[in-house]
A and B are shown apart, each in its own frame.
Chain A
Amino acid sequence: NAGVTQTPKFRILKIGQSMTLQCAQDMNHNYMYWYRQDPGMGLKLIYYSVGAGITDKGEVPNGYNVSRSTTEDFPLRLELAAPSQTSVYFCASSPRGSSNYEQYFGPGTRLTVT
């Protein structure tokens, strides 16, 4: 199993550009999450999904959009990038069943907006 994979690893965007961060998992987990981590801080939840076709907002959803058309993929879309979106983005997945609530994290995408 590859676990949770994210692409790209690094990206530099100009203000106003858009991009999609990709996240995929091969563990057949229903629950998936997007977090951002600013330097020296904890993670903040952007969006989450409890299954294909179902998404909901987290703590800091403004400026982002998500979709979940399959169990495996959970892309995060940035529209009109702003310097405040400079951060490291982590995707995670969880089975949330059979007493296993652990979240498995991807390697992260480091995004700089200039």
Chain B
Amino acid sequence: ELKVEQNPLFLSMQEGKNYTIYCNYSTTSDRLYWYRQDPGKSLESLFVLLSNGAVKQEGRLMASLDTKARLSTLHITAAVHDLSATYFCAVEKAGGFKTIFGAGTRLFVKA
């Protein structure tokens, strides 16, 4: 059974600091997704990582994937208040279409 674990579940950080959110999963996966969700809103797609060693960057966010370690990271560089949100990773089971979400990391960036 595919399980997805994120840590930390809650993160409070100062503006200007760097931090990393981790996403571990338990079985072989075809794709890994990162989403952002603002309170009371829908999900916004950030990254789709397709293969081992994939790295994608958008602004202050960078995501990477290590399929051998079954680990993805979302790195935040020089955080700003606007990045405050909940970040989810989601993993698609190999050979299928079922996507399993992590519990989410609630990020709060203090001005």
Give chain A's interface residues, CB within 8 Å of chain B. 31, 33, 35, 40-45, 48, 50, 56, 58-59, 90, 92, 99, 101-108
Contact = CB atoms under 8 A, between A and B. Distances in A.
Interface of B: 4, 31, 33, 41-45, 48, 50, 88, 90, 92, 97-104
A31 B103 contact: no
A59 to B, nearest CB: 7
A50 B98 CA distance: 11
A59 B104 contact: no
Q: Majority SS of interface residues in chain B?
A: strand
Q: Which 3 A-B pairs have the closest CB atoms?
A: A42-B101, A105-B43, A43-B101
A48 B97 contact: yes
Given A42-B88, A43-B90, A101-B48, A106 B101 contact: no
29 contacts: A31-B97, A33-B99, A35-B101, A40-B104, A41-B103, A42-B90, A42-B101, A42-B104, A43-B88, A43-B90, A45-B98, A45-B99, A45-B100, A50-B97, A90-B42, A92-B43, A101-B48, A101-B50, A102-B33, A102-B45, A102-B48, A103-B45, A104-B45, A105-B43, A105-B44, A105-B45, A106-B42, A107-B41, A107-B42
